[in-house]
Amino acid sequence: MASIKSSAKDYQNRIAAMRARLSSYMEELVRAREELNSRALVPNLLALLNQCLDKARQQVDKYEDSLSIGKPADEITDWHIFEIEVIKARSIAEEYLEKDSVTDNRRGTTPNRGAFYHVNLPKWELPKFDGDVLQFDTFWEQFEDQIHRQSELRDTTKFTYLRSCLTGNALNAIDGLAVTAANYSAAVDILKSRFGRRDLIAQS
């Protein structure tokens, strides 16, 4: 038991350390763009951020695998929310580089647009759904556009966001599912079959 607790503590410490590094990189990215306006510094910081993000994701995956099935640890849930902020910061920095290259007539070439991935992450509060069948289509259209279709996000992250949007009967419907990549699709199917049925809407 002591070794398990020690292992969990080790993962928590590593994840916390990497979160601190990522936060530092994000702050420096803002400074490089807004204060220094440095096109040379931003890509170097992005490389460091991406490298650290990959390592952090590996640690989070290992930590998740070490946990028993059930409600995810608070550190895991907090990480998935923090991960969204990292992706947003990265996307803003990439967009800065791309826009700057387009307006710079002194450059002979522009970066390959395919080299950058732009995530349309939500800039507003995510929709909420409590199980009212009349509201499901509206809820799902918004969630699908803001989170579900974002291929950059892992399914575990999408599941964390989905749970945060649900209350009441809707949350109860999927409460027994552990937050895993495999269960995300199952949770979506459950919600659609239970609250998105046309016959239920007609009866209401």
Joined tokens for residue 1: 């038991």
What 3-state DSSP class applies to 110?
Answer: coil
Determine the structural domain holding residue 184 and report its residue range: 135-196
Domain boundary among 54, 75, 99: 99
Residues 3 and 95 placed together within one structural domain of the fold: yes
Contact 197, 173 (CB under 8 A): no
Phi-psi map region of 70: left, alpha, beta (phi>0 left; psi -120 to 50 alpha): left
Residue 92 lies in a domain: yes
Residue 120 parent element (H or E) = none
CB-CB neighbours of 156 under 10 Å? 23
Between CA 61 and CA 56 the distance in angstroms is 9
What 3-state DSSP class applies to 129?
Answer: strand
Provide the domain count of the chain: 2
Residues 80 and 166 placed together within one structural domain of the fold: no
Residues 92 and 142 placed together within one structural domain of the fold: no
Between CA 161 and CA 163 the distance in angstroms is 5
Domain boundary among 99, 115, 149: 99
Average pLDDT, the chain: 81
Instruction: Kindly state the average pLDDT of the residues 90-117.
Output: 62
What's the pLDDT score for residue 189?
Answer: 94
Percent of the chain with pLDDT over 70: 79
Joined tokens for residue 109: 């070439």
Residues 8 and 94 placed together within one structural domain of the fold: yes
The model's confidence at residue 173, banded by pLDDT at 50, 70 and 90, is very high
Residue 136 parent element (H or E) = helix 133-143
Residue 129 lies in a domain: no
Residues 34 and 88 placed together within one structural domain of the fold: yes
pTM over cut 0.75: no
Residues 17 and 83 placed together within one structural domain of the fold: yes
Residue 108 lies in a domain: no
Percent of the chain with pLDDT over 90: 34
Residues 142 and 64 placed together within one structural domain of the fold: no
Residue 144 lies in a domain: yes
Residues 79 and 144 placed together within one structural domain of the fold: no
Between CA 158 and CA 67 the distance in angstroms is 19
What's the pLDDT score for residue 191?
Answer: 94
Please say if the pLDDT value at position 49 is more than 80: yes
Residues 85 and 161 placed together within one structural domain of the fold: no
Domain boundary among 79, 99, 119: 99
Instruction: Kindly state the average pLDDT of the residues 53-78.
Output: 83
Residue 168 lies in a domain: yes
Q: Which amino acid is at 136?
A: F
Please say if the pLDDT value at position 172 is more than 70: yes
What's the pLDDT score for residue 122?
Answer: 45
Please say if the pLDDT value at position 109 is more than 50: no
The model's confidence at residue 71, banded by pLDDT at 50, 70 and 90, is low
What's the pLDDT score for residue 112?
Answer: 46
Residue 162 lies in a domain: yes
What 3-state DSSP class applies to 166?
Answer: strand
Residues 74 and 5 placed together within one structural domain of the fold: yes
Residue 181 lies in a domain: yes
Residue 22 lies in a domain: yes
Residues 12 and 95 placed together within one structural domain of the fold: yes
What's the pLDDT score for residue 124?
Answer: 55
**Alpha-carbon distance values, 170 to 80, 112, 128, 148, 157 (Å):** 21, 43, 10, 17, 18
